[in-house]
Amino acid sequence: MSSYKVGADPELFLADMTGKKILSAIGKIGGTKENPIQVEKMPKGFCYQEDNVLVEYNIPPCASVDHFVKNNRAMIAYLEKKVRDELNCTLKIQASTIMDEDQLRDPAAHIFGCEPDFNVWTLMPNPRPVAKNKALRSAGGHIHIGLANMSRVDKVMLGRLLDWQLGLWSVIKDSDTRRRELYGQAGSIRFKPYGLEYRTLSNFWLRNETLMEHVFTGVASALECHREKLYDTITKYGAKIEAAINNSDKIAAEHYLAGDWKYHA
């Protein structure tokens, strides 16, 4: 494939210094999706904002795995220091939680989905999320892929390949299964002018550099598979991939990630 870049806009939970009570970030962090706050003394693109009860940050697009890891680590360190110094709080990298009622009183805590996801398997928009427990909140680890001259069909096929290379892997590595009541179903993307946003992953991959590196190399692998036109094969077995991700089936995910399509869940 031609040159590409990988960005991210992960979400983090805010917690008290014990780490035991999750707190709403509303009114504490500042910034919005439309007007994120640019970090002073950092290059353009290092931003943060509130999103529902979460702390969200952005990094500029990265052309190498080293920059991808470095930029994510820099933003986590910056925000951790900010919330510690200014709020006497800490950040938590976890995919979901049940919020205490006293943290959900602001109307902004009940606004979900600023724009709909698109499902690359059904070729339809995903429905607006509705959880059985209204206090459930989840944190995504969305990936942005920038690549020139991609058609809408190219983006759909790349989304399917990302499910194979990263979605299945996340089922194996991410112990959380509750987030998918709200977000993170198989094949969740948003079309972007520069490429696409892959929205299936939670924020679990922020926990260490090895996981961060795998996200970047997983994108590279998916793009290579796209170049080799392997999307027809993946589409053939799409129902298996989709079921393994949506059902958090680790055993099936291991088989399908390895290309063992004979396995029956």
Tokens 């992953």, located at residue: 201
Per the domain annotation, does 113 fall within a domain?
Answer: yes
Residue ranges making up the domain that contains 103:
4-257
Residue 82 counted as domain residue: yes
> Residue 161 CA to chain centroid, in angstroms?
16
| Total of domains in the chain | 1
How much is the pTM?
Answer: 0.96
Number of helical (H) and strand (E) elements in the chain, helices listed first? 7, 13
Q: How far is CA 101 from CA 105, 220, 222, in A?
A: 7, 42, 41
- Structure-token pair, residue 37: 């706050």
**Residue 218: which of 6, 63, 56 has the closest Cα?**
6
Residue pointed to by tokens 């029956």: 264
User: One digit per residue, pLDDT tens: the chain, 265 residues?
Assistant: 459 999 999 999 999 999 999 999 999 999 999 999 999 999 999 999 999 999 999 999 999 999 999 999 999 999 999 999 999 999 999 999 999 999 999 999 988 756 789 999 999 999 888 888 999 999 999 999 999 999 999 999 999 999 999 999 999 999 999 999 899 999 999 999 999 999 999 999 999 999 999 999 999 999 999 999 999 999 999 999 999 999 999 999 999 999 999 999 8
CATH number of the domain residue 65 falls in? 3.30.590
Q: Which residue reads 């606004």 in tokens?
A: 111
| Count of Cβ atoms closer than 10 Å to residue 235 Cβ | 16
On whether residue 265 sits in a domain, the answer given is no
| Three-state secondary structure readout of 86-131 | HHCEEEECCCEEECCHHHCCCHHHHCCCCCCCEECCCCEECCCCCC
Whose CA is closest to 238, among 135, 149, 157? 157
